[in-house]
Chains A and B, each alone.
With several copies, the nearest count.
Chain A
Amino acid sequence: MTTVQQPATRSADDIRGDFPILSRLVHGKPLVYLDSTASSQKPVAVIEAMSQYYETTHANVHRGVYEISEEATAKMERARVKVARFINARQSKQVIFTRNTTESINLVAYSWGYANIKAGDLIVLTGMEHHSNLVPWQMLAQRAGARLEFVPVTDDGLLQLDVYEQLLQQQPRLVAFTHMSNVLGTVNPAQEMIAQAHAAGALVLLDAAQSVPHMPVDVQALDVDFLCFSAHKMLGPTGIGVLYGKRDLLEAMPPFMGGGDMIRTVGLRESTWNDLPWKFEAGTPAIAEAIGLGAAVDYLNAIGMENARQHEQNITAYAMEQVQQVPGLIIYGPGAARRGGVISFTLGDIHPHDLASILDQEVGVAIRAGHHCAQPLMERFGLAATARASFYVYTITDDVDMLVKGLHKALEIFKL
Chain B
Amino acid sequence: MSMDYREYILDHYRNPRNYGTLAHPNAHAEDSNPLCGDQLAIDLLIEEDLVKEVRFQGRGCAISQAAASMLSEMIEGKSVEEVVQLGKDDVLDSLGIPISPARTKCAFLSLRVLHRSLALAGLEKPIDNDEEDQ
A-to-B contact residues, CB < 8 Å: 62-66, 69-70, 73-74, 77, 81, 84-85, 90-93, 263-265, 274-275, 278, 349-354, 357-358, 361-362, 369-371, 375, 378, 384-385, 409, 413-415
Instruction: Scan B88-115; emit 1 where CB is below 8 A from any A CB, else 0.
Output: 0000000000001111001000000000
Out of B10, B60, B134, which one reaches A92, CB within 8 Å? Answer: B134
Residues of chain A with a CB closer than 8 A to B10's CB: 414-415
Out of A69, A90, A352, which one reaches B134, CB within 8 Å? Answer: A90
CB of A384 within 8 A of CB of B133, answer: no
Q: Tell me if B121 counts as interface (CB < 8 A to partner A).
A: no
> Which single residue of chain B is at the shortest CB-CB distance from A264?
B34
Known contacts A353-B36, A362-B2, A413-B1; A84 and B134 CB within 8 A of each other: yes
Q: Tell me if B82 counts as interface (CB < 8 A to partner A).
A: no
CB of B102 within 8 A of CB of A354, answer: no
User: How many CB-defined contacts (below 8 Å) exist between A and B?
Assistant: 91
Out of B4, B34, B59, B106, which one reaches A265, CB within 8 Å? Answer: B34
Chain B stretch 8-56: residues in CB contact (< 8 A) with chain A: 10, 14, 32, 34-39
CB of B36 within 8 A of CB of A358, answer: no
CB of B103 within 8 A of CB of A91, answer: no
Q: How far is the CB of B114 from chain A (nearest CB, A)?
A: 19
> Which single residue of chain A is at the shortest CB-CB distance from B129?
A275
Q: How far is the CA of A84 from the CA of B5 in the complex (A)?
A: 37
Give 12 CB contacts A-B under 8 Å: A65-B36, A81-B132, A92-B133, A263-B34, A351-B60, A351-B65, A370-B36, A375-B37, A384-B39, A385-B36, A413-B1, A413-B4
CB of A63 within 8 A of CB of B36, answer: yes
> Which single residue of chain B is at the shortest CB-CB distance from A351?
B61
Residues of chain B with a CB closer than 8 A to A351's CB: 60-62, 65
Chain B stretch 44-88: residues in CB contact (< 8 A) with chain A: 59-63, 65
Q: How far is the CA of A93 from the CA of B65 in the complex (A)?
A: 28
Q: How far is the CB of A151 from chain B (nearest CB, A)?
A: 23
> Which single residue of chain A is at the shortest CB-CB distance from B58?
A384
> Which single residue of chain B is at the shortest CB-CB distance from A65?
B102
- Known interface pairs A62-B35, A74-B101, A362-B2; 16 further A-B residue pairs with C-beta atoms within 8 A, sorted by A's residue number: A65-B100, A70-B101, A81-B132, A84-B133, A91-B133, A93-B130, A264-B32, A264-B34, A351-B62, A357-B4, A357-B100, A358-B4, A375-B37, A413-B1, A413-B5, A414-B10
Out of A64, A85, A275, A353, which one reaches B63, CB within 8 Å? Answer: A353
**Which 9 pairs from chain A and chain B are nearest by CB?**
A353-B61, A351-B61, A264-B34, A65-B102, A91-B133, A70-B102, A371-B37, A370-B36, A354-B62
> Which single residue of chain B is at the shortest CB-CB distance from A350?
B62
CB of A265 within 8 A of CB of B32, answer: yes
Chain B contact residues (Cβ within 8 angstroms of A): what range? 20 to 34
> Which single residue of chain A is at the shortest CB-CB distance from B99?
A357
Known contacts A64-B102, A69-B102; A370 and B37 CB within 8 A of each other: yes
Q: How far is the CA of A264 from the CA of B63 in the complex (A)?
A: 20
> Which single residue of chain A is at the shortest CB-CB distance from B62?
A354
Q: How far is the CB of B78 from chain A (nearest CB, A)?
A: 28
Q: How far is the CB of B61 from chain A (nearest CB, A)?
A: 4
CB of A353 within 8 A of CB of B32, answer: no
Q: How far is the CA of A351 from the CA of B58 in the complex (A)?
A: 13
Q: How far is the CB of A124 from chain B (nearest CB, A)?
A: 26
Residues of chain A with a CB closer than 8 A to B133's CB: 81, 84, 90-93
Q: How far is the CB of A299 from chain B (nearest CB, A)?
A: 20
Q: How far is the CB of A125 from chain B (nearest CB, A)?
A: 21
Q: How far is the CA of A351 from the CA of B63 in the complex (A)?
A: 10
**Chain B CB within 10 Å — which of A91, A357, A414 has the most?**
A357
CB of A354 within 8 A of CB of B63, answer: yes
CB of B130 within 8 A of CB of A353, answer: no
Known contacts A353-B106, A354-B61, A384-B60; A91 and B134 CB within 8 A of each other: yes
Q: How far is the CA of A375 from the CA of B33 in the complex (A)?
A: 13
Q: How far is the CB of A404 from chain B (nearest CB, A)?
A: 17
Residues of chain B with a CB closer than 8 A to A409's CB: 2
Residues of chain B with a CB closer than 8 A to A349's CB: 14
Q: How far is the CA of A377 from the CA of B59 in the complex (A)?
A: 17
Q: How far is the CA of A415 from the CA of B106 in the complex (A)?
A: 22
Q: How far is the CA of A326 from the CA of B38 in the complex (A)?
A: 26
